Amino acid sequence: MAVGRCVKTGKMPGSRLFRFGGGGGILRRGRLLALAILGPVFCFVSCAEKKAGDPSSAAPAVDVVQAIDAAPAVDAASAADAGELRFYEYKKKRLNYPPKGEDFPYNFKGLKDVRIVEALTGEYSINRTLSNYRVFGTDLGIIFDRGEEIFIAFGDTFSGPGFTGDWRSNVLAVSSDRDASDGILFDRMISTKLNRNAIELLHARRQDNIEMTVIPTGGFSIGDTLYLCYMSVRHWGEPGKWDCNYGGLARSRNNGQSWEKLESPRWDGQGIFVQLCPVKYQGYVYFYGIGGGRTGPVGLMRVREDRVEDKSAYEYFSGFEENLPLYKSGEGAEENAARVIPGPAGELSVMYSPYVDEWLISYLAAENLIMRSSKTLEGPFSAAHIIAKQSDYPGLYGAFMHPVYTKEGGKTVYFLTSFYAPIYNVAVMGAELVKQDP
């Protein structure tokens, strides 16, 4: 156990409310490239109180968001206090979004009781990632597993506030905690033998218009080998848009301690298979793909597990023939792949839900996190149901799911969501699926 880390059934040292951070910075992951006036801050109840809640801790009844947005630049301490109030307003919310109505023949009808469960990263998350792993701020939280171990991959990571300090393009946590209802504890983060500081897995050149960063987009395992899907980002463009060199796979044969970028397979940065979301099913690895940014549609390809490193073995979904999915390979198959979901789409996550007996896909669509379902991996997909709105949780993106982080046969789903404002870090969120009455 990490020194100073909270056991989920115990208490954090110190006061009931915690926060971390302060200062401003550039909203890199948001592609806004705008100066952040407010510092990154989190506020949470102690581990012992987090399940039950504490009505006495309610923030003052003020329009916090309006007050912060209207406030001029102030000193770091005042900005930190304002940021704390804003995030605590987030954590108090339990939201229900109205279903789309009749959507025959799909069982999935929407989500309810959407809420923030606990901080996953940041100094006063239950993982105390600054003290333990030199991670002040990070994003994403892509979940995959091998046996009993769960791996969580993060994107651009910094040791200081305002996107300062030690910049690592990607880091990886390992956990054996299979209960997300009160947060997820890390067993460790991948580090060197010298210390416990989280290390960069996949090197990035950090040169604008050459290779700015290398960001994980998905992960999976085959036998004892771990794979990360990643994108090589050449340039951050307008909000929601960025240019990529390519999308590819990296491999680890020592349980994530070191990684090798594979020369093949790789997909051109101008195509639709740059940001890949893998799903293993019936001896195949299926990859949902989008291009650079968050504006394009979603494509689908697959490959047999034993040929995942052979690009010539990949097949691209091209539509249906007599109601059966049709996959093609060879010349032109990649370029002519069908679009299974229209854009805009960003930060994909896919899993099967036994509760609704359908495949679920979550992603950021323009401003809001949404979820769709399908009877098959190829679709057609249901109407888009809201997971969370940007207006309710400003700065949110990503809803990364995994079957291990569900309860009641998949009725309750937990997912990892990032925030740029008021904080650049990841939180565990939860919701209940609503299904069609029998």
Report residue 360 as tokens: 């679920």
Q: What is the pLDDT of residue 225?
A: 98
Q: Containing H/E element for 67?
A: helix 64-70
Which of these, 227, 240, 265, lies nearest to 366 by C-alpha position?
A: 240
Q: What is the pLDDT of residues 60-94, one digit of tens each?
A: 333 323 332 333 333 333 333 444 566 677 888 99
Percent helix, strand and coil across the chain, each to the nearest 5: 10, 40, 50
Provide the pLDDT for residue 172. Answer: 98
CA-based torsion, 184, 185, 187, 192: positive or negative: positive
H or E segment and range at residue 370: strand 368-374
pLDDT (average), residues 364-375? 96
Distance CA 220, CA 271 (A): 22
Confidence of residue 125 (pLDDT cuts 50, 70, 90): confident
Four-residue CA torsion sign, 343, 349, 350, 356: negative
pLDDT band at 163 (very low <50, low <70, confident <90, very high): confident
Kindly report which listed range (45-49, 196-200, 259-263, 273-277) carries the lowest average pLDDT score.
45-49
Residue-wise pLDDT for 379-435, tens only, equals 999 999 999 999 999 999 999 999 999 999 999 999 999 988 667 899 999 999 999
pTM: 0.84
Closest CA to 83 of 64, 99, 98: 64
In degrees to the nearest 10, what's the CA dihedral of 431, 434, 435, 438?
A: 130
Q: What is the DSSP letter of 332?
A: T
Domain ranges within the chain, ordered by starting residue: 25-92, 108-435
- Comparing CA positions, the residue from 384, 186, 175, 153 lying closest to residue 278 is 153
Separation between Cα atoms, residue 86 and residue 94, nearest integer Å: 15
Among candidate residues 285, 272, 436, the one with its CA nearest the CA of residue 340: 272
Query: Which H/E stretch holds residue 82?
Result: helix 76-92
Q: Which fold has domain 108-435?
A: Tachylectin-2; Chain A (2.115.10)
Give backbone dihedrals phi and psi of 293, rounded to 5 degrees, phi first: 90, -165
- Provide the terminal-to-terminal Cα distance of the chain, rounded to the nearest Å: 46
Please state which of the ranges 71-75, 114-118, 166-170 shows the lowest mean pLDDT. Answer: 71-75
Q: Under 8 Å CB-to-CB from 330, ≥6 apart: which residues?
A: none
Q: Which residues pair with 413 in a beta bridge?
A: 406, 431
CA dist., res. 339 & res. 316, Å (int):
10
Q: Confirm if 216 and 228 have CB atoms less than 8 A apart.
A: yes
Structure tokens at 127: 């993982």
Distances (CA, A) of 377 to 101, 186, 334, 361, 394: 23, 31, 18, 10, 31
pLDDT digits (tens, 9 = 90+) for 228-267: 999 999 999 998 999 999 999 999 999 999 999 999 999 9
d(CA 108, CA 130): 39
pLDDT tens for residues 170-221? Answer: 999 999 999 999 999 999 999 998 999 999 999 999 999 999 999 999 999 9
pLDDT at 104: 77
The whole-number pLDDT of residue 78 equals 39
